[in-house]
Amino acid sequence: MHETHFGSPRSRVDGPLKVTGAAPYAGEFTAPDLAHGYVVSSAIAKGRITRIDTKDALAVPGVVQVFTHENRPRTAFRSNAYQDEVAPPGKPFRALYDETIVYSGQPVALVVAEDFEIARYAASLVRVTYEAEAHETDLEKVQAKAYVPPVKRQGISPPPKPRGDSEAAFGASPVTVEAGYRIAVEHHNPMEPHATTVVWEGDERITVHDKIQGAQNSQSYITAVFGLPQKDVRVVSPFIGGAFGSGLRPQYQLFLAVMAALELKRSVRVVLTRDQMFTMGYRPDGLQNVALGANQDATLQSIRHDLIANTSTFEDYQEATVNWSAMLYHCDNVTTTHKLAKTDLYTPADMRAPGAPTGLFAMESAMDELAHKLGVDPVTLRLRNYADIDESTNKYHTSKELRAAYQLGAERFGWSKRNPKPRSMKEGRELIGWGMASGAWEAQMAQTSARATLTADGRLEVACATADVGTGTYTILTQIAADALGLPMEKVTTKLGDSSLPKSPVEGGSWTAASAGSAVELACHKVRETLFKSARGLDHSPLANADIERVTFHGERIALVSDSSRFVTLADALKAAGVEKIEAEETASPSKLTQMRYNSFTHSAVFVEVRVDEELGQVRVTRIVDAVAAGRIINPKTARSQIMGGVVFGIGMALHEESMPDHNLGRFMNHNLAEYHVPVNADVHDIEVIFVEEHDTLTSPLGVKGLGEIGIVGTAAAIANAVFHATGKRIRELPITIDKVIGTAEAA
């Protein structure tokens, strides 16, 4: 195929809509009969509502209705009807289901009014009386009750079976390190709060604009919960203001907005407040322990990584956290465990690279500790224990250019100039630290369908139900489609985020580029074939005896590879076909055979410079080089942005982000963006992204592996390792805040 666009930097096709404010997000669709819902949240963590008084709220002029568990319309009885596409095992939370309170911030009422400010005011007048029960939100207090989840979460690999005897090998190792690690609970906090606008179309039909990473996931949730036929529910969400996993599962505002719209037979919008963004999923709390044993020659002899993570009382949330420690390095004796303990909080949720930056913060910190103890360079330690196959499953890698990533990243960073001694590098008052870490994330492809439609005017439309949450999906699909038919990108329209479009799983896990991209390519190739047949069938066609393998689609022409002066224009071919449009829908599926024999991962090597004012505890991340091996890169421009975004997320994890629970109240207290700190512009300096050349024919037909997650993985560990190198202080609990830097953490 002639690739004009694939592999070349291209500006986002949705750019003009976004920079002019014309791109519509879920809470911005409207209707003449729109009413506004405002959620009332529970003040207690556990217990029951004994009384809920809505009289004063209902008396406010402009209030339409107040929904509570007492007047909630009938919805599905069985809890499994509420189970969405990516739900963990358990019984999903059901808003306004009954008087029971299972977490602080749980929605207890929805006030619907003619305008937003009336709804907000009336919500303040809803009086809720509770009977509180003792709650426990502190993971440390419940860790003794930790259990191995009896039902595994679909799509999440449990920790691999132990190999060798890690305990004996640890005992026999001349050099060992062992420590506990922890990362504060983090909330996703996409810039757009969760929102749903339900447009009442009459006759029990609704169009739903939901902040969701998969329109079809919301659609099937609505049809199951409210017993509606699929044809009466269309979910249209063309733009998502960031999600990072918070939009994988339908959130409670979707349920509330649909419930109110169906009951009131009018359009309803429910937008959560920023504070309420802390009343849904989060990156779980986890107590991690890593023990490594090595010989003096820096070969790993034993790896043990244990995790106790929190979950809710009603679902067993699981993510692959410890698994990375079992696959990243060559080692004969490995044990990893993952247990859960129930807390009176909402269920955790997938958050950008769920499990990987968490588990690898612990593992890659421990590797740094081991390197220091062995007196070897951290990169050398990793190279000496390089794994050529995934030893945790005994499968081959589809491709693995991590070695090149270490090498290129180190080169670009200037790693060879590093003085290995902690506290040895200084400029002015600041100690300088250089640290590094490895990253890995699964490269997956999921079964996805797409449609391509070429119309008589020479325009191509490609369509898929998946979402673009800022990842650049609109742009890369446009590039793929334009290349397939030799069109300029301006002649291609990509449609996404609509449940009526060809089937796609939720957008997430870094699988969308490989999956939707392959589906689009297949559908376009089908259109090519039809078009080619038509071109070949023309009277005196210059392509008369040609084979489709011997022609190129380029510059709106179909030409012979051997002689580009022999061509048929697309317009002529279309005209010859004599149809209004040529349409094809195709489904791309991963190869089962490949999956049986291979594992596929993206990898990264992250190099970080920090500057630490030791006396005052201030840490500045001044330079990051992230070398990423992720197969072929469709659009270097948007790809670089995606990695940088992941790195910034990693800076937040390392230095800033922390949802602070008050265990007396069972409630996160810093539930706003003033006190939950995400990095601001001043926190981010030079970030250099290197894409390592990696040839992969097995992960997906496109050779693409996906980029959404890998940027965050390894970043926090590299920063923590750099802080150690600067100060000689090993900080094993993130975020690394001023108090920890000036505090009494273990010195070198």
Partner 1 sequence: MNRFSYARPGSVAEAVREVAAPASKVLAGGTNLVDLMKYNVERPAHLVDVTRLPGLKAIEETGEGGLRIGALVTNTALAYDPRVQERYPLLSSTILAGATAQLRNAATTGGNLLQRTRCYYFYDAATPCNKRVPGSGCPAIGGVNRIHAILGTSEQCIATHPSDMAVAMAALEAVIRVSGPGGERDIPIAEFHRLPGDTPERDTNLGADEIIVSVELPAPRFATNYTYLKLRDRLSYAFALVSVAAALDMDGGTVREARIALGGVAHKPWRVPEAEALLKGVVPERGAFSLVADRILEGAQGFGGNSFKIDLAHRAILRALSQAAAGTPQSQTDKRIQ
Partner 2 sequence: MADLDLPSRQGFAPDAALPTGLPGEIPLTITINGERRDLHVRPWTTLLDLLREDLHLYGTKKGCDHGQCGACTVLVDGQRINSCLSLAVSRDGCEVTTIEGLAAPDGALHPMQQAFIEHDAFQCGYCTPGQICSAVGLVKEGHAHSAEEIREGMSGNLCRCGAYTNIVDAIGDMLAQETSQEAAK
Which residue in this structure is represented by tokens 């990362």? 183
CB of 650 to partner 2, least distance (A): 9
The answer to whether 660 contacts partner 1 (rule: CB under 8 A) is: yes
Token code pair at residue 582: 């040529």
Ranges of H-type helices in 589-746: 592-597, 636-651, 715-727, 738-742
The one of partner 2, partner 1, none whose footprint includes residue 428, by CB under 5 to 8 A per kind, is partner 1
Single out the residue of 115, 204, 662, 746 in contact with partner 1 (rule: CB under 8 A).
662
114 contacts 64 by C-beta, under 8 angstroms: yes
Residue 137 or 478: the one with the smaller Cβ distance to partner 2 is 478
The one of partner 1, partner 2, none whose footprint includes residue 739, by CB under 5 to 8 A per kind, is partner 1
CB of 495 to partner 1, least distance (A): 36
State residue 41 phi and psi, 5-degree precision: -110, 150
Which amino acid appears at position 150 of this protein? P
Question: How many angstroms separate the CA atoms of 131 and 46, rounded?
Answer: 9
The answer to whether 664 contacts partner 1 (rule: CB under 8 A) is: yes
Catalytic center residues: 709
The answer to whether 132 contacts partner 1 (rule: CB under 8 A) is: no
Single out the residue of 283, 491, 611, 729 in contact with partner 1 (rule: CB under 8 A).
611
Residue 144 or 682: the one with the smaller Cβ distance to partner 1 is 682
The one of partner 2, partner 1, none whose footprint includes residue 742, by CB under 5 to 8 A per kind, is partner 1
CB of 279 to partner 1, least distance (A): 11
Q: In this structure, are strands 598-599 and 395-397 parallel, antiparallel, or unpaired?
A: parallel
Residue 234 or 372: the one with the smaller Cβ distance to partner 2 is 234
CB of 616 to partner 1, least distance (A): 6
The answer to whether 681 contacts partner 1 (rule: CB under 8 A) is: yes
Single out the residue of 155, 617, 636, 701 in contact with partner 1 (rule: CB under 8 A).
617
The one of partner 2, partner 1, none whose footprint includes residue 472, by CB under 5 to 8 A per kind, is partner 2
Residue 596 or 674: the one with the smaller Cβ distance to partner 2 is 674
Token code pair at residue 563: 């002689």
Single out the residue of 672, 695, 697, 746 in contact with partner 1 (rule: CB under 8 A).
672
43 contacts 131 by C-beta, under 8 angstroms: no
| DSSP per-residue codes, 359-388 | HHHHHHHHHHHHHHHHT--HHHHHHHTB-S
The angle subtended at Cα 655 by Cα 652 and Cα 660, nearest 5°, is 85
CB of 60 to partner 2, least distance (A): 12
Q: Pattern 25-44, binding to partner 1, x per CB under 8 A?
A: ----------------x-x-
CA distances from 159 to 148, 283, 356, 596 (A): 10, 19, 13, 18
The one of partner 2, partner 1, none whose footprint includes residue 670, by CB under 5 to 8 A per kind, is partner 1
The one of partner 2, partner 1, none whose footprint includes residue 687, by CB under 5 to 8 A per kind, is partner 2
Question: How many angstroms separate the CA atoms of 106 and 79, rounded?
Answer: 17
CB of 455 to partner 2, least distance (A): 12
Question: How many angstroms separate the CA atoms of 509 and 377, rounded?
Answer: 32
Single out the residue of 618, 693, 697, 748 in contact with partner 1 (rule: CB under 8 A).
618
Q: Pattern 88-127, binding to partner 1, x per CB under 8 A?
A: -----------------------------x--xx--x---
Single out the residue of 655, 687, 690, 710 in contact with partner 1 (rule: CB under 8 A).
655
Question: How many angstroms separate the CA atoms of 290 and 304, rounded?
Answer: 6
Size of the site for partner 1 (CB under 8 A): 42
CB of 494 to partner 2, least distance (A): 7
Which amino acid appears at position 310 of this protein? N
Q: Which of 450-478 are b and which e, b meaning 16 or more Cβ less than 10 Å from the residue's Cβ?
A: bbbbbeeeeebbbbbbbbbbbbbbbbbbb
Single out the residue of 407, 620, 733, 745 in contact with partner 1 (rule: CB under 8 A).
620
CB of 63 to partner 1, least distance (A): 13
Single out the residue of 205, 665, 688, 745 in contact with partner 1 (rule: CB under 8 A).
665
* Longest distance between any two alpha carbons in the chain, whole Å: 86
CB of 443 to partner 1, least distance (A): 33
Q: Which residues on adjacent β-strands are paired with residue 395?
A: 390
3-state secondary structure 39-104: EEECCCCCEEEEEEECHHHHHCCCEEEEEECCCCCCCCCCHHHHCCCCCCCECCCCCCCCCEECCC
Question: How many angstroms separate the CA atoms of 118 and 64, rounded?
Answer: 10
Q: Which residues on adjacent β-strands are paired with residue 243?
A: none
| DSSP per-residue codes, 413-482 | HTGGG---STT--EETTEEEEEEEEEEEEE-----EEEEEEEETTS-EEEE-SB--SSSSHHHHHHHHHH
The one of partner 1, partner 2, none whose footprint includes residue 124, by CB under 5 to 8 A per kind, is partner 1
Choose the stretch contacting partner 1; rule: CB under 8 A; options: 288-296, 333-341, 572-580, 663-671: 663-671
Which of these, 211, 214, 207, 215, lies nearest to 192 by C-alpha position?
211
Contact set with partner 1 (CB under 8 A): 41, 43, 117, 120-121, 124, 275, 428-430, 611, 613, 615-618, 620, 655-656, 660-662, 664-665, 667, 669-672, 674-675, 677, 679-683, 737-739, 742-743
